[in-house]
Homo-oligomer: A and B are copies of this chain.
Amino acid sequence: MNKSKFSGLKAIYVNCTLKKSPRVSNTRGLANVSISIMEKEGVDVETIRLIDHVVPHGEEADMTEHAEEKDEWPELFKRIIQADILVVATPIWLGELSSVARKFIERLDAMSEKQNDKGQTIYYGKVGACIVTGNEDGIKNCGKGILFSLQHIGYTIPPQASTGWIGKAGPGPSYLDEESESADHEFTNKTITFLTYNLMHLASYLKEKDGYPSYGNSEEKWNEGERWKFEKPDH
């Protein structure tokens, strides 16, 4: 296998830390391990640190239409929708994904009424995964919230698409702190590697196939009355 296999792919990593630049983001620290693999494999990688942008809370495509002075979301969305691969990276606060991650998902969801040219939800044919960091406890809980949301709006989820790093129960060092010994943490190193490659493999497959056929999953066709082999139950 050579590098060129993945070289047409685009990935975007959205860091949902609560800390604005230039403060240190441990979440970005861990995401870098994955980014570095993708770049070496020839994937075109972009990153967004959402907290550095003016993105209001809201359930609409553009919140300047709802009394917000500024909304960078429409511009950010253009970058996100061009990528084949979306990785959501979040810190853990009180066992949950950050409010920035939640806001990001709400804004993604608000765009899910858009359709591609097959009449499918616009995220069809793209793949998603998540990376989670904290001092303690919550990787899987954050992961299930993010992955559920991604598939719900149309992303495909490859195997083992959630990973992270945490220390023992209770307060303790963060990922980038030397005493965390995280750089040598075999479990995190292995699972982030698998996650990264599975994203690339599955994105390649879906790109090669031009996403999914519209047979059986097109909003547009359903609305026109097409039902394929669905039959109304007669219970």
Binding site for B on A (CB under 8 A): 1, 18-20, 23, 29, 32-33, 36-37, 40-41, 51, 57-59, 66-67, 93-100, 102-103, 105-106, 109, 120-121, 123-124, 137-141, 143-145, 147-149, 151-152, 154-162, 164-171, 175-176, 178, 182-194, 196-198, 200-202, 205-206, 209, 212-213, 215-217, 222, 227-235
Contacts and interface: CB of A to CB of B under 8 A. Distances in A.
Contacts of A230: 33, 37, 189, 192-193, 196
A218 B51 CA distance: 36
A36 to B, nearest CB: 6
A151 B140 contact: no
A64 to B, nearest CB: 13
Contacts of A66: 19-20, 23
Nearest to A126: B159
A176 B225 CA distance: 24
B183 A235 contact: yes
Contacts of A198: 212, 216-217
B183 A197 contact: no
Contact of A169 (B33, B151, B160, B166): B166
Contacts of A183: 232-235
Nearest to A159: B154
A169 to B, nearest CB: 5
A159 B58 contact: no
A110 to B, nearest CB: 9
Given A67-B20, A189-B230, A230-B189, A165 B169 contact: yes
Nearest to A235: B176
A36 B196 CA distance: 36
B156 A159 contact: yes
Nearest to A198: B217
A140 B140 contact: no
Contact of A109 (B59, B93, B121, B160): B93
B159 A121 contact: yes
A206 to B, nearest CB: 8
15 contacts: A18-B57, A95-B148, A96-B149, A102-B102, A140-B148, A151-B159, A156-B157, A156-B202, A168-B185, A170-B191, A183-B233, A189-B232, A190-B222, A197-B217, A202-B212
